[in-house]
Structures are given as structure tokens and as C-alpha cells.
Amino acid sequence: MKLILSTCLSLFTLVVLSQPGIPEKDYENVEGKVIEWRRDIHQNPELSNREFKTAEKVANHLRSLGIEVKTGVAHTGVVGILKGDLPGKVVALRADMDALPVTERNDLAFRSKVSAEFLGKQSGVMHACGHDTHTAILMGVAEVMANNKDKIRGTVKFIFQPAEEGPPPGEEGGALLMIKEGVLNNPDVDAIFGLHINSQTPAGVIAYKSGGAMAAAQRFVIQVKGKQTHGSQPWGGVDPILISAKIVDGLQTIISRESDLTNEAAVISVGKITAGVRFNIIPESAEMIGTIRTLDYEMQKHINKRMEEMVPAIAKAYGGDASIEIKSSTDITYNDPALVQQMLPSLFKVAGEEQVKAQKAKTGAEDFSYFQKDVPGFYFFLGGMTPGNTESFPHHTPDFMIDESGLLLGVKALAQMSLDYLQQG
């Protein structure tokens, strides 16, 4: 089996190397634009389902290239269709556009100073996960592909997606709504590619995982009900804050004592606890919101079942009541193994084989997974850390930073993959 895979990969590599690529001067011409677009989008971030200016910028750019454009998809999404000079299959490329409710904390000349209301509170807004780079990279891909229509055997569909971080409560959005509104049809997509910048991978490196690459994400809300009393007389009531603490502690035992982590990783994290109004009042209720990350659906079922059993039981043991609601946010990001093997030579061609590295699955999550449920997909990671750095700031933090020297490789990777996939038919 290993010999067969190796032989197939070698044949694909020979085919890719013999095919015409994008002229290097086209990439050189677009690199400065990609960086400029990225900085402008970074300085003017917009939250999920509110990406109005970003969508307008993208749509205007695509139209300037002669690409057919559709706007207002899944609220603020933009879709561009580029038909090559030769008939063939349809490949889709996806970039997400939304920012996060994070206040930026760095000395960048183009740092965000934007603020907006999020869940009833005022917050800074920041591209703290790199979606600004994804959007700028795909704008660059659109330009180099539009300038090389004669090499395209088929159609390229550019998908600029809103609300990857999740739509606001009470709204639909993201990949699911785009799919619901037919983004993978008319023309029907045969395969889809996407990338994610990574602040902890050196610029110039591409990392990937065949099969399950990123976790399924679920959001849970726990409501705890106690009995209000004076803070000086806790025996006169039932403390929902204490119960919440015990629930948090108990939930972690599901991971540490009940989950076979030698099979796949799993995570339960409580990200928000809300309770009380005053220092000397034990409140009547508390609310906890958190996330579950799993890379195996059977493990997910077990974790969900145990959480639903444990939460009310712990509350009852301390004299209170509690309920839990669990909702799915994304599926497992699953890279089609055959498609990965087919496209690795394209990545080798633009990055160098030694700079394309297999990695283990990540417990981060991506709603790109929903596209992959309908069509084969390949989602990979693009290095965004300054080479030689020993540490970097994680995603979703105020200090998150990206080395822009890695952006052009993202343009080259998506363009070459598209070209090769369509050439191979």
C-alpha cells in the first residue's frame, strides 16, 4: 500500500511539474497589493454578519478583474465566478472575512481602533485570528488567476464568507447559510480548498493533516438556580456560584478520567460565568457558557451524555438546580485523503517539499467543515510567525501578530492548487 501511494504521489508530482504555472512576475506584482489590502482590512475590522465594508472592497476588486460577482450571500458574503478559456471542472476557494470582539494591544501603525457592541456590551474589534490575511490572500489569488485565464481548464469559484466565528444570537450565518443559499451550486463545485494563517508556524511553512484535521465544536449553556441570601449568612440560601465552581471542576473529570485521550484529543472549556450584582449578596442564579471540542463522534456522544447527567446531579447535591443546553457549531474538519495526496505536489511546487509538513490534528474548529460534508475539501495551515522566533501570541488574543512575509506563499498555494486540480480534470 505504501509503495502504491508513493508511486501515485510521484506520478502526480511529475504531472504537476510539467504543467504551466502562473508567471513569477504576476506574483511579484500582486504581493504589495495583498499586504496593502490586508492592512486596510485589519485597520477596519467588522464583526460576524456585519462585514459590509469588507464585502464592498472585495466585490469592487473582483468586478475590476472582470469576474462575475454575486453579493449579499448569507447576509454579507461575496461570490466570484471566473470561467477559464477551456472547459472543465469547478474548484472553489474560500476565505473568511469576520473579526472578533477583542481590543488590539500592539504598536502596529495599522492596528484597529474600532469598537462595537457585542452581546450588549461595548468591545474593541480586532482581526485576532487572521481572517484579514485570508481575505487579502484570496483577493490576490483572484487577480493572478484572472490574468491567466488561458491556463484555466474549467471554473474557479471565489467564496468570501462572513461569520466564520459564528453569527450573533438569533441569526443564521457562516458556511451553513452559504450552503443553504446554494453557494456550492450553479455551477456545481467539484472540490474546495482553503487555508488558515497560523501565528505559531514559521512563515514559509505549510502544515497539513490528512483526514480529521480540526475538531468539531459545540457550544453549551448551563443555567444554575440557587436561593438568594445575604453574603454574611450563606446558610440562609443556596449559592449558585459555589455550584458553578463544582460543575466546572466536575466537567473536567469527564476529560481526565472518562475520555480515552490516546484515541483523540478532547476539550471542555468554560469561557464565561455570569452571576450576582453586589459583593455582599449571594445571587439567585448563575449562567455558564463554554465549548466542547472533539475529534471523534463517538467520544462526542459520550461527553455530551455525561455532561447532561452530571450538571443537574452536581447542582442537586448542593441544594440547587441546573440545566444544560448543547448546540453544535461545527463538524470535524475532514480533509479528503485522496484529494490531499493529489494536491500535495502542488504545495511542494510552491513551497518546496521540505517546507510542507504533516502535523497532528488540532482542537481548533472551522466551519469550513460544512463545505467538506458536501464536496471533497483540503484545508491547510499557512505559516505566519517570523522565522527564528521562539514564541508567538496565540490566536484570539489582544497581542496576536502575523508576519506578512508569508502571505505571498498563500496566494501561490491556492492558485497552483486550483490550476493543477483543473488541469488534471
Point out the residues that are catalytic.
Answer: 98, 164
CB neighbours of residue 145 within 10 Å: 26
Helix (H) or strand (E) holding 326: strand 321-330
Contact in structure between 207 and 357 (CB atoms under 8 Å): yes
Distances (CA, A) of 399 to 104, 128, 253: 7, 8, 32
Residue in 344, 351, 357, 354 with CA at minimum distance from that of residue 10: 344
Partner residues linked to 224 by β-bridges: 286, 322
Task: Go through 299-316 and write b for each residue having 16 or more CB atoms within 10 A of its CB, e for each that does not.
Answer: bbebbbebbeebbbebbe
Distances (CA, A) of 144 to 205, 318, 411: 21, 63, 9
Contact in structure between 149 and 171 (CB atoms under 8 Å): no
Residue in 182, 217, 209 with CA at minimum distance from that of residue 365: 217
Contact in structure between 92 and 159 (CB atoms under 8 Å): yes
Contact in structure between 268 and 254 (CB atoms under 8 Å): yes
Contact in structure between 356 and 210 (CB atoms under 8 Å): no
- The grid coordinates of residue 414 equal 491556492
d(CA 47, CA 53): 11
d(CA 204, CA 223): 46
Residue in 207, 183, 204, 178 with CA at minimum distance from that of residue 195: 207
